[in-house]
Amino acid sequence: MRRFTVSIALVLASGLSCAGDDVGLSRSSTGEASEASTTGLSTGGAGTSTTVDASSGVETSADSDSDSVETSSSAGEVSTTSGSSGSEDTTGSGTTGSKAECEPSFRYAWYVPFGNTLVKIDTTAASVAGEYDGTPGGLGFDDALAVAPHGDIAAGCMIVAADPERCPDPLQTSIGLGDIVDGDGCVRWTIPQCPRTLPLAWTPGTFDAETCQWQDVNLWALEVVGGFSDPDTLRLLDGDTGDELLSMAVEPGSVGSSQADPDGNLWTSSNNFSPLTRVTPAGTLDTWAKPEPSYLLRIGPEGNVWTSGGQVHVFDPVAEAWLPQPAPLEAFCAFNLAEELWCHYLADFWQVDPVTFATIGEVHDVGVSLYEFSVDDQNNLWILDANEPTQVWRYDPSTAAVDVVDIGGTNSAAVYGDRTGAAAWIPVP
C-alpha cells in the first residue's frame, strides 16, 4: 500500500475547560504572521540525517556511523508565504503555562463512511449528534481525518468545529444522523487543494493555561500529486483561515501516519521502508532509517516517537536514535489520558508497561476484529468493528461494559493515522 487504505475512521475531538468552568469551551485567537524561512526537499538512507536549506541551496547529510559530512546542491523546491500563524518562532510555536488545571473533554467521536458525509457521535450519550455533507469542499480521501486540540476536525478537505463557540453559525447546524444541513454553520473552511489532499495533523500551537485556550493552531496537510515518481506537496495551513504558511516537495510514499509534537514539528512514518521523517514549521526536513515498516505513529507523554503495527519501536528525538526494544511486541499501540500504553492485535487489547513491554493485567477479548481504538475523557475505548462496519463500540475496560452506536456505515475500517484528540493532548507539557 502506498498511503492509508481506509474506508471508515473514528476520531475523538477535544474541547477544553478550566477547572470549574463548563466543559468544552474554547476560543480562537489569531496574531500577526511571521514569514517562514525557506528550506527544501530532503532524503536520507539508513543511519543518515539529511537537511536541505533552500536559502543556500545546500544539502547536508550526516552519517550516524561516521564523522563525515557531505554537501550537495538541493534537488527540492519550496515556497513560503506569510499568513496568520501568530508565532514569530519559525522552528515551532511551542507552549506556555501548564495544562494541569484544565481538563480535556473528548466529547465527540467522528467517522467517515464510504461516501461523502462526516458523522459526529456524542461519547457521553453514545448517540449520533450530527452529520455533515462533504460535497461542497469534498472529503477527498475518505480515510483522512485529523483532530485539533481545540476540537476542530479536518475530514478530507473540510474543517468542522466541534465546539459551538467556534462555529460561524451555531444555530444552523446538524443535530443528528441524517440531519444534513445545506451550508452547515459549523463548517469553518475547506482546503483549496482538493480532492487530492490528506489532512495529517494539527500543531498544538500555544496553550494558555489561565484561560484554557489554544491559540495559533495550524494544520499539516499533504497533496498527493499522483504516481510513484512525482513529488507530493506538503503544506502547513493556517488553522483559522486555511492560508498557506509553507509549501514543500516531499518524496512520494514517504508520508503516512503523522502527528505534530509540542513545537509544531510534523513526525510521519509511512507503511513501507521510507524513513521516519521530521519536518519543522520552517521547512527543515530530517530523516532516520526505521528498524522495519510500521503503520501507526504516536508521540508519547515523554516526547518519544512510537511506531507500531508490526513490531513496536521507540525513537528518542533528543538523542536522535532508536531505543533498544526491551522485548518483542507486535501490536498497534497508543496512550490514553492516564498516560497508560494500550495495545491491540486482532480481537485482543491489553495494557503494556512502556518501559519493559510487559503485559499489565488481563488481556481483553472484545470478540471482534479491531482496526483501531480511541480514548474518550473517561478512558473508554471506542472501537470500530471490522465485521459489522455499521457499528461503533464504546467499551469500558474496567467493567467490560459495551454500548453500541449504529453509524450506518457501509465499509470496513482500517486506521493507521492520528485519530484521537488524546494523541494531540498527551505530549503537551
Q: Secondary structure of 358-385 in the HEC alphabet?
A: CEEEEEEECCCCEEEEEECCCCCEEEEE
User: Which run of H or of E encompasses 327?
Assistant: none
- The pLDDT, as a whole number, for residue 336 is 83
Which amino acid is located at 235 in the chain?
Answer: R
pLDDT of residue 236: 97
Pairing verdict, β 78-79 and 244-250 = antiparallel
Task: Give the 3-state secondary structure of residue 10.
Answer: strand
Arithmetic mean of pLDDT, 175-184: 90
Express the helix, strand and coil content of the chain in percent, nearest 5 each: 0, 40, 60
Confidence check: pLDDT of 51 > 60: no
Long-range contacts of 134-140 (CB under 8 A, 24+ apart): 134/158, 136/183, 136/187, 136/190, 137/187, 137/190, 137/191, 137/194, 138/190, 138/194, 138/195, 139/112, 139/195, 140/191, 140/194, 140/195, 140/196, 140/197, 140/198
**70 DSSP assignment:** E
pLDDT (average), residues 347-354? 92
Segment 172-192 shows an average pLDDT of 90
**SS3 at position 120:** strand
The whole-angstrom separation of Cα 153 and Cα 201 is 10
Does this model's pTM top 0.85? no
Q: Are 282 and 39 in contact (CB under 8 A)?
A: yes
Task: Evaluate if residue 15 carries a pLDDT over 50.
Answer: no
* CB-based contact 384:111 (threshold 8 Å): yes
- Residue range 358-415, pLDDT digits in tens: 999 999 887 777 767 788 777 888 877 767 767 788 888 888 888 988 877 655 455 5
Residue 319 scores a pLDDT above 90: yes
Residue 219 has pLDDT above 70, yes or no: yes
Cα–Cα distance list, 179 to 216, 305, 323, 327 (Å): 32, 40, 49, 49
The least confident of 6-15, 180-189, 311-320, 392-401 is 6-15
Model pLDDT for residues 18-31, shown as the tens digit of each residue: 333 332 323 233 33
Q: For residue 267, what are the contacts with CB-CB under 8 A and spacing of at least 6? A: 258, 259, 260, 261, 276, 277, 278, 297, 299, 305
Percent of the chain residues past pLDDT 90, beyond the cut: 28
Give the pLDDT score at 139.
Answer: 59
Residues 245-301 have pLDDT tens digits of: 999 999 988 888 899 998 999 999 887 788 999 999 999 999 999 998 888 899 999
Q: Which of 286, 317, 263, 278 is nearest to 89 (CA)?
A: 263
The per-residue pLDDT for 338 is: 83
Give Cβ neighbours of residue 71 (< 8 Å, ≥ 6 apart).
58, 59, 60, 61
pLDDT at 320: 97
Percentage of the chain lying above the pLDDT 70 cut: 68
Q: Is 259 helix (H, G, I), strand (E, B) or coil?
A: strand
Side by side, the strands of the sheet bearing 197-202 are 78-79, 244-250, 232-237, 219-223, 197-202
C-alpha torsion angle, residues 339, 95, 298, 274 (rounded to 10): -160
User: Greater confidence, 235 or 4?
Assistant: 235
Q: Give the closest residue to 234 by CA, choosing from 274, 273, 267.
A: 267
Residue 401: which H helix or E strand, with range? strand 401-406
Q: Give residue 416's pLDDT.
A: 56
Q: What is the tens place of the pLDDT at every residue in 78-130?
A: 443 433 333 333 333 344 445 666 665 567 888 776 567 888 888 888 998 99
pLDDT, the chain, mean: 74
CA R_g for the chain: 20
**Rounded-to-integer distance, Cα 366 and Cα 424, Å:** 26
**pLDDT higher than threshold 80 for residue 428:** no
Confidence of residue 54 (pLDDT cuts 50, 70, 90): very low
Q: Is 61's pLDDT higher than 90?
A: no
Pairing of strands 244-250, 232-237: antiparallel
Q: Catalogue all structural domains in the chain, each as residue range(s) with its CATH number.
A: 10-425 (2.130.10.10)
**Amino acid letter, 368:** V
Around 368, how many Cα atoms within 13 Å sit in the side-chain half-sphere?
21
Residue with cell 490528506: 198
Q: Which residue has the higher pLDDT, 72 or 291?
A: 291
The residue among 384 and 220 whose pLDDT is bigger is: 220
Cell 477535544, residue located: 14
Q: Answer with the residue of higher pLDDT: 49 or 301.
A: 301
